[in-house]
Amino acid sequence: MTKQNNTPIFPFTAIVGQEEMKLALELNVIDPKIGGVMIMGDRGTGKSTTIRAIADLLPEIEVIKDDPFNRHPAEENEGKIETEFIKIPMIDLPLGATEDRVCGTIDIEKALTEGVKAFEPGLLAKANRGILYVDEVNLLDDHLVDILLDSAASGWNTVEREGISVRHPAQFVLVGSGNPEEGELRPQLLDRFGMHAEIRTVKDPDLRVKIVEERTLFDLNPHAWVDKYKDQQDCLKQKIIDAQKLLDKIEMPYDFRVKISQVCSELDVDGLRGDIVTNRAAKAYTAFHGGTAVSIKDIEKIIVLCLRHRLRKDPLESIDSGYKVKKLFDEIFDID
């Protein structure tokens, strides 16, 4: 049985421009271990539309029927279980959400009187095996951002109340967006996001007209507009599935790995997260384009996305546009 969602979503392949944001989302879907993406840009640049569109593009997943954690049938060992297919969950985290709403709550009274762990799942449970989207993440309480990042990194959420502990799977791609005018995330939190995409308002008048026309036509007849892009959507969906299957077979020359670490070292990037994410993203990009071995061009396409947000040491300093990363990459990889 498949759950149907009848409300059409603007097709991902119909989105004009914003290539950096689209690429970051595609690569995180291919390899969720990249660690999510932070999307910073002006208001009204299609951040939410694009993020919802990538979720709609993803293949359905098989889950245990009525399971609050969307677990795969293989995770349940007790007897015969009923399964169903659902669209990959796309969960919005509202700005005013409390910790209980995010993590879930334990009914202490029920636990003590009836001797059962009465756990009410939160948004992290619903987001398992899906995408968790936090708009205006830069306005979210730092403590909550910490919880989200910890769960995204470990794949688990633990709730503890009065000596009672509940742990459940919480594997998701964390996508944050925000407007830099309203403040940046602290560098320590920003560094935890795998990639950082910057988007700007389109300046070209012809392109602006095209974007407005596409949106207007979609609003007039959403179903017809979705049908128009069906072949392109199916093609991209298959490309993502093929890349996921190919990912483990991708090889990267040792020399390239050393040079990536040299770039990170000379940029004074703290820790090794930058090295790891750049390696992962380069392999995902190679797989996305059907290759088997990472090339210098593949690394060039993703390295700014992976490192630009890791250079900032002072919270008041603005994020480098990527010029420093690109300049050093060209020097170390000997690009003319």
Active-site residues: which are they? 273
Which of these, 35, 315, 316, 306, lies nearest to 197 by C-alpha position? 306
Q: Tokens 């925000």 correspond to what residue?
A: 178
In the chain, the amino acid numbered 167 is: R
- Cα distance between residue 296 and residue 176, in whole Å: 29
